[in-house]
Amino acid sequence: MTTYTILIILSGLVIFSYLFDLVASKTKIPSVLLLLLLGIGLRFLVGYLKIQTFNFLSILPTLGTVGLILIVFEGSLELKYDAAKNKVIRSAFLSALTILLGTVTIITLIIYQISHRDLHSCIANAIPFSVISSAIAIPSAAALGKQDREFVIYESSFSDILGIIIFNFAIANHSITTSAFIGLGLSTFLIILLSAIACIVLLYIMGKLIHHIKFFLIISILILVYAVGQSYHLSSLVLILSTGLFLNNADTIKNIWFRTTFLYKNLTADLAQLYQLSAESAFILRTFFFVIFGFTMDIYELNNLPVLANGVFILLAIFLIRLAVLKVFKSGNAAPILYLAPRGLISVLLYFNLPASLKMPEVGTSFLFLVVLGTSIIMTLGLTLSKRKLDEQLA
């Protein structure tokens, strides 16, 4: 395969992804679902033409991690805080936490029935299936009303953060002890402190940089700090979310010293450019991640009836628990937010980060693919149905 052929394929994928986004805005079919199907189609094409490829699974976690950072950062740069939003933020946090714990509990029982392995291994394997993917939920919420969209951004981001915290806790501790919770408290305090320092330092750097290239530097620093934090099992996604929120709301801080030291004339314009760069970079990485994920899947494994049956049980658990919790924490109609519970990028990343000793052959990548695909299809049908009902009511 020549250099020019590779360039044609890569640019073609980006063009297809752009067209899929246009289709998604009109039909409510998530572009991620179309990217997965494109990856599956390419797998068939490559097999038919007998083209040699390398092991794409080796680059999938790296692509997914950077994509997750940029998607959460992009979403947080959209959020403007005011005191009136405390209720939404609190509801979104409690909803994310309760749904996550409830879903982990039920899916743990399902995996235990499948594998009959020890409880610790079942819990660790259940967590990737229980976390809402902000990489899919945030773009899919674009067509919702402002309040619902903000709820989805907060809830899916909190779900990612809490999922990573619980996942790190589960793989680091084989039993629940006092020292384990002390370690969790210390790591949480450390990442909050690190986030506060990073927010101040990045805002100061933005104001002092005079070089015409500075936004990729800011993003690179964020990725660097995230990677260092994750290497020490800190939940660094807190840092990404808080940095975006802080930068976008720094102008609301009334302290005179802070405003004269850190705020500068072109801050609003710089934030707009930073948001645009993050959004377009996230778009590219999301494209390649989901196409490669679809490409690496062997859909013939889905012919296994037990895998299909257990996948259906997990999907039922996901949405029944979500419905029950949203009735408590979300005022008004639960739809269409009920259907916005996709599994995707974060689920794949957590799954591939499971230690070899905890992985189960009964819960393989085909199982993960089924849940990712199933939640995306249900989200598509749910959003379409909700829009149709709204149109009928307006008519």
> What does the pLDDT look like over 286-297, one tens digit per residue?
899 889 988 988
Q: What is the mean pLDDT of residues 116-134?
A: 91
Average pLDDT over residues 65-94: 84
For residues 239-261, average pLDDT: 89
Alpha-carbon span 187 to 175, nearest angstrom: 18
Q: What percent of the chain has pLDDT over 90?
A: 22
Structural domain including 189 reads: 3-394
Question: How does the average pLDDT of the chain come out, rounded?
Answer: 86
| Across 36-45, 128-137, 204-213, 264-273, least confident range | 204-213
Residue 394 has pLDDT above 70, yes or no: no
The CATH number of residue 127's host domain is 1.20.1530.20
Identify the pLDDT of residue 393.
Answer: 62
Is the pLDDT at 318 greater than 90, yes or no?
yes
Structure tokens at 149: 């969209």
Averaged pLDDT for residues 25-45: 84
Read off the tokens for 349.
């990343």
CA separation for the pair 132, 338 (Å, rounded):
12
Whether the Cβ atoms of residue 69 and residue 286 lie closer than 8 Å to each other: no
Q: How many helices (H) and strands (E) does the chain have?
A: 15, 0
Identity at 356, one-letter amino acid code? A
Question: What's the whole-number mean pLDDT along residues 298-325?
Answer: 86
Q: Rounded CA gap, 100 and 128, in Å?
A: 10
- The answer to whether the beta carbons of residues 225 and 240 sit under 8 Å apart is no
Q: Measuring CA to CA, which residue among 338, 343, 347, 350 is closest to residue 376?
A: 343
Helix axis angle for 305-329 and 365-394, nearest 10°, is 50
pLDDT band at 276 (very low <50, low <70, confident <90, very high): very high
Nearest to 339, CA basis, from 391, 393, 377: 377
Distance of CA 313 to the CA centre of its chain: 23
What is the arithmetic mean of pLDDT over 243-254? 89
Burial of 107: CB neighbours in 10 Å, binned 0-12, 13-18, 19+: buried
Token digits of residue 18: 């752009």
The percentage of residues in the chain with a pLDDT greater than 70, rounded to a whole number, is 98
Count: domains in the chain: 1
The whole-number pLDDT of residue 349 equals 86
pTM for the predicted model, two decimal places: 0.83
Which of 369, 371, 367, 382 minimizes the C-alpha distance to 316? 371
pLDDT at 355 over 80: yes
Pick the range with the lowest mean pLDDT from 186-195, 231-240, 367-376: 231-240
* The pLDDT of residue 345 is above 90: no
Report angle CA 286, 219, 198 to the nearest 5 degrees: 130
pLDDT at 264 over 80: yes
How much is the pLDDT for 96?
A: 92
What whole-number distance in Å separates Cα of residue 21 and Cα of residue 276?
16
- Check whether 302 has a pLDDT greater than 80: no
Distance of alpha carbon 22 from the chain centroid: 21
- At 181 the pLDDT is 82
